[in-house]
Structure 1
Amino acid sequence: MGRPRGSKNKMTKATNTQEIGFEEKIWQAADRMRGHIDPSEYKNVVLGLIFLKYISDRFEQKHAELVAEGEGFEEDRDEYEAEGIFWVPRDARWEAVASAAHTPEVGKVIDNAMRQIEAENDSLKGILPKNFARQELDKRMLGDVVDLFTNVKMTSEGNTQDVLGRTYEYCLAKFAEQEGKNAGEFYTPTCIVRTLVEIIQPYHGRVYDPCCGSGGMFVQSAQFVEHHSGSIRDISVFGQESNPTTWKMAKMNLAIRGIEADLGPHNADTFFEDLHQDKRFDFVLANPPFNDSDWGGERLRDDPRWDYGVPPVGNANFAWMQHMIHHLNDHGRMGMVLANGSLSSQQSGEGDIRANIVKDDIVEGIVALPDKLFYSTGIPVCLWIIDKGKKARSEESGKVLFVDARELGTMVTRKLRELKDGDISKIAGAFDDFRKGALEPEKGFCAVATLGEIERQDYILTPGRYVGIADEEDDDEPFDEKMKRLTGELSKCFEESDRLQEEIKKNLEAIGYGF
């Protein structure tokens, strides 16, 4: 799923108009460049170029400011590090890359730039892609892409961060679309992440994602804070990712958005090497692998994280959930995406674990989402909202909010649905009202249930059991008239059925199969 970090620099309306479609231009050029390279490989080429252009632009902007000051500090790396700007050696700056764009050596020049930047910046060591000189990468197409980046129109402050950050996220989404079922390893659709963030509201504090993919949860958290007139300095970001390539993507994605994050010194399996073992967090946001049957649970039967019951070896859903709850502080709030089976499964002790979590009165709400929201799977999923501070608030204590959002969303392609702004606001608004004690139940959409009512449902948390069915709108047609119309239509259907039945019999008799 990937997340951007925020910048306060906003483009003017004119600049937005000039830059419209830039993301698509980059993608189209990259798609032509791909040739026979698998999408999972060439995405590193495209995303690596975006990152290289970004850090070079940040450096050059500061360099120009120091030159203008006339104090001779333009080559003093402390001036850059003090503002969180990566040091870019002279031969690694975009000018050197751009001048080699249409030479056979362009791939080697880019690889050399990546190596020099890693050598000069400890936090980037081993992170950047260095495969641009590979033989199968079309150097003419690569040069065309370099030209596109060279011609990115600057914002009024001379900073391309907004454009490049937007392009990075756009390309992540396009790669997810191409990779289909494998996309879930690195990308969670933005509309799902936004929904979680709008519900959880991470204004300030420590934010954690134990399976962070390409960093999308952090990006949306930072944007949420900025949209509510805060600063990304108000949140601290912590994460972990097991896939080494995805871990590198997350490091670049967060750097390009200006978000300082602790993703650990390396990629690692969260269950077996918890890189933040002793930390507790204000917010946890995650989209863990659904129904993972190969998570090594047989070796973790006595793990101290299983406060509500030992999760089954054949399914990691409640292992992920308990890991995240374990990492919440006493007032922490958490939102996670899970397969719908987590709401009702009674297999291998899952029903008991779910019941224990509900009885502890930390489940704030459950949201049933519509299907077709993911590139990687068409199945519908749900959101679990956990709040350790809920039981101390009289408006929510002993109660759970259920939201059935299965009818929301808009099909944007034949296979993909998106939650639009109004859908996200409606879902998040229900939680806002619930927290104020002002929620008006809406049949078919939202309702509040007590722990006693949930117990009578055997601790099954499927929202449809609690919200009921929406009332159909009255069309004002008198009942007698409606019944006459409907029975008339039904009579015509019967007549047509009889006619077709006779025709089928005649056709069968004609070929010797009469009855």
Structure 2
Amino acid sequence: MINFQEKANFIWSIAELLRGDYKQSEYGRVILPMTVLRRLDCVLEPTKDKVLKQLPQLEKMNIQNIGPVLNKVTGVNFHNTSPYNFKKLLDDPNNIAANLRNYINGFSSDAYDIINYFNFNVQIDRLDDANLLYLIVGRFAEIDLHPDRVSNIEMGYIFEELIRRFAEQSNETAGEHFTPREVIRLMVNLLFNEDYSDELVKKGIVRKIYDPACGTGGMLSVAAEYLADLNPDAQLKAFGQELNPESYAICKADMMVKGQDPSRIKFGNSFTNDGLKDEKFDYMLSNPPFGVEWKKVQKEIKDEHDNLGYAGRFGAGLPRVSDGSLLFLQHMISKMKPVQEGGSRLAIVFNGSPLFTGGAESGESNIRRWIIENDWLEAIVALPDQLFYNTGISTYIWVLTNRKSEKRKGKVQLINAVNFYQKMRKSLGAKRHELGEDHIAEITRIHGEFKEGKYSKTFDNEDFGYQRITVERPLRLSIQVNSELIEKLKEQTAFKNLAVSRKKGAAARAEIEAGQQYQQQIIDALQTMISDTVYKNRDEFIKLLKKTFKKQGVTLNSTLQKAIIYALAEKDETADICYDNKGNMEPDPDLRDYENVPLKENIYEYFEREVKPHVPDVWIDEDKTKIGYEIPFTRHFYEYKPLRPLEEIDKEIKQLENEILELLKEVT
């Protein structure tokens, strides 16, 4: 890894040449595509002369598609037919821009597509105008990025380190971070853990892996390398999609250099423009940008949810617009192969929000319910904080599959690995912790053994479900008529609307005058009821109210009656219970409460045991009962830490006081 740091630092130092002509946030527009170009240049360098020598012969033979032939010469999935490389570009300083374009245009289509997505033509002009282009090409020509000197893993680290630094200068949000290699290795372990003994060791197996937010391709690369080490005769075909043009270009370049088919990497938004719509995959893994809103694509996603339901990707529900994490998970589930075709396994990184955000029957809860009730959730691993470059928050790996082993069926494993880390000698952005090889091996072992222990707990699927019951208490009102409360009536909307008209001109004035007269009649009728009497029974007061209004010749409809009661009544626990027209007790909204009853428990037994002894006059509104699912991870691993003895705290305070006094003496 020293080699990786040296190379990354050298490339980073080239960015200093841009100072003054470029803003710091713009450095990546030059350095990243030049790094890709130099990598491709170094890969092709040993075969460059052979390609140029064979090119005229192929043209004479009038072969229509010379690409496969030249790729065979280069030994990789791309080639370059331009006479230039980085060294030859430096031979002609006066025409550096035109020659560099000639060189880029000489790449085969997939390689050219990579550079094109960097929009590098704009930067060529800008660098040339600033007399920087020759200097930049010259500095990059000094660094050797051939795979024999810089392995694919190291090249991935260089890409990600450069992107991380440029992202920090651009003040990108904490959710848009990059996944450390050791976290990817753990995810790959968990992904393959159940398949070691039979599936992955078979001779000549071919499997497909997918990342819907593949970034620079780190996850796909590590997975492919891992399987190659486990079974050199296996083939893992990598597929992915990426929204950021630069990350897409880097990923495609990485796949090309490693012998993967770069056409399997698609550009665009996985939600609205799924580039691999009809594909299904054996394995999937992803670290999507969590905590990022999906408002820009809300219409398309909501339309799919409403119109296609479970025939689409988002039938289970939609999370809140402020966080689209669970949309990625639903998208990945839609890519699972049917069980009869071998099924699929996936691993995804989330923050804590998808575990518990959203109440019963909210979008998030319904998605969790759909996943758990289908028995797809295999395990969740809580990772240490400060593992990622641009954010220090706690994260979790979710492992899902539609082909659980027999012992795992109907079960979910939670693994608490928050203390499995070592401190880094030097921080990288917000990354201060890392997983050591021993930590990865231990977490993998705990997952594979599937046993209860200090760091592992197993639950039935139903343990995460609950019934949210609505607990009501009766409405009790005391009513009195006095001048102050009559004034409150004048503020009621129903009363004020009596003197409002939608008509125009004379008709409106007449209607308003009639309404004002009616208002005064109501006030006059109520003033005849003013007394010190407090009515504890609402029905008794309503009878008196109706009788009084009838006697005064004032019409009293239900809307007006309700407004009068609202103005004159107060909540009173000593008053009689209020009943509706059907003889049912009316609930008091201010006293309404909710209880989450475990799905395994009878709600009526729970109610009689936990609620009714404390509040005897309560009841359950059965029409409002909802099913919810949440995963209270921290609660299951909570360890009580007793408070320190008062004597110890007092001793520490006195010690601090003495230290402060000594410091003050030095000052004075």
Rounded to whole Å, the distance in 2 between the matches of 1:186 and 1:493 is 41
Structure 1 residue 85, shift from structure 2 partner = 3.9
In structure 1, what residue type is equivalent to 2:158?
Answer: T
- Correspondent of 1:117 among 101, 107, 111: 107
Rounded to whole Å, the distance in 2 between the matches of 1:160 and 1:316 is 35
User: What residue in structure 1 maps to residue 546 of structure 2?
Assistant: none
1:33-182 equivalences under 5 Å are 33-38=18-23, 41-63=26-48, 78-82=68-72, 83-100=75-92, 103=93, 105-117=95-107, 124=114, 126-127=116-117, 129-130=120-121, 131-135=123-127, 139=131, 143=135, 146-150=138-142, 152=144, 164=155, 167-182=158-173
Distance 1:125 1:167, change over 3 A: closer
Structure 1 residue 498, shift from structure 2 partner = 9.1
User: What residue in structure 1 maps to residue 634 of structure 2?
Assistant: 464
CA offset digits 1:156-211 (Å, max 9, x no partner)? x6898676555334423433444453475473333332322221139551111112
Distance 1:256 1:137, change over 3 A: farther
Q: Is the 8 A contact 2:77 2:257 kept in 1?
A: no
Q: Is the 8 A contact 2:211 2:285 kept in 1?
A: yes
**How many residues matched?**
462
CA offset digits 1:383-440 (Å, max 9, x no partner)? 21101101xx222111111112222332542832333333322222222222xxxx3x
SS at match of 1:126: helix
Rounded to whole Å, the distance in 2 between the matches of 1:78 and 1:309 is 46
User: What residue in structure 2 maps to residue 308 of structure 1?
Assistant: 316
Gaps of 5+ in 2: 61-65, 201-205, 466-597, 600-627, 662-668
User: What residue in structure 2 maps to residue 386 of structure 1?
Assistant: 400
In structure 2, what residue type is equivalent to 1:466?
Answer: H
- Correspondent of 1:397 among 409, 421, 440: 409
Q: Is the 8 A contact 2:314 2:327 kept in 1?
A: yes
Rounded to whole Å, the distance in 1 between the matches of 2:657 and 2:10 is 59
TM-score by length of 2: 0.60
Flag the structure with more relative contact order, 1 or 2, with Cα contacts below 8 A and sequence separation at least 6.
Answer: 1
1:340-359 equivalences under 5 Å are 340-347=352-359, 348-359=362-373
User: What residue in structure 1 maps to residue 648 of structure 2?
Assistant: 489
Rounded to whole Å, the distance in 2 between the matches of 1:312 and 1:280 is 27
Q: Is the 8 A contact 1:399 1:448 kept in 2?
A: yes
CA offset digits 1:138-161 (Å, max 9, x no partner)? 655863663454452867x68986
1:222 is aligned to 2:224: yes
Structure 1 residue 36, shift from structure 2 partner = 4.9
* Alignment root-mean-square deviation, CA: 4.0
Rounded to whole Å, the distance in 1 between the matches of 2:174 and 2:96 is 30
- Correspondent of 2:459 among 436, 441, 449: 449
1:377 is aligned to 2:406: no
Distance 1:141 1:351, change over 3 A: same
Rounded to whole Å, the distance in 1 between the matches of 2:347 and 2:152 is 29
Distance 1:123 1:81, change over 3 A: farther
In structure 2, what residue type is equivalent to 1:416?
Answer: K
1:233-248 equivalences under 5 Å are 234-248=235-249
User: What residue in structure 2 maps to residue 283 of structure 1?
Assistant: 283
User: What residue in structure 2 maps to residue 268 of structure 1?
Assistant: 268
CA offset digits 1:302-349 (Å, max 9, x no partner)? 242134334445542322211111111132001111221110112433
User: What residue in structure 2 maps to residue 258 of structure 1?
Assistant: 259
Rounded to whole Å, the distance in 2 between the matches of 1:189 and 1:180 is 19
Rounded to whole Å, the distance in 1 between the matches of 2:153 and 2:184 is 19
Distance 1:452 1:24, change over 3 A: same
SS at match of 1:291: coil
TM-score by length of 1: 0.76
Rounded to whole Å, the distance in 1 between the matches of 2:329 and 2:110 is 39
Structure 1 residue 367, shift from structure 2 partner = 1.5
Rounded to whole Å, the distance in 1 between the matches of 2:51 and 2:248 is 34
CA offset digits 1:261-314 (Å, max 9, x no partner)? 44466x322222222122111111112221333141433332421343344455
SS at match of 2:190: helix
Structure 1 residue 53, shift from structure 2 partner = 2.5
Comparing 145-154 with 157-166, which one deviates more in the overlay? 157-166
User: What residue in structure 2 maps to residue 428 of structure 1?
Assistant: 444
Rounded to whole Å, the distance in 1 between the matches of 2:332 and 2:68 is 38
Rounded to whole Å, the distance in 2 between the matches of 1:112 and 1:310 is 49
Distance 1:335 1:152, change over 3 A: same
Rounded to whole Å, the distance in 1 between the matches of 2:85 and 2:16 is 25
Rounded to whole Å, the distance in 1 between the matches of 2:393 and 2:319 is 23
Indicate the structure (1 or 2) with the bigger Cα radius of gyration.
2
SS at match of 1:181: coil
Rounded to whole Å, the distance in 1 between the matches of 2:110 and 2:634 is 56
SS at match of 1:383: strand
User: What residue in structure 1 maps to residue 556 of structure 2?
Assistant: none
Comparing 56-65 with 350-359, which one deviates more in the overlay? 56-65
1:318 is aligned to 2:326: yes
In structure 2, what residue type is equivalent to 1:453?
Answer: D
Structure 1 residue 354, shift from structure 2 partner = 0.8
User: What residue in structure 1 maps to residue 345 of structure 2?
Assistant: 333
Structure 1 residue 493, shift from structure 2 partner = 4.2
1:407 is aligned to 2:577: no
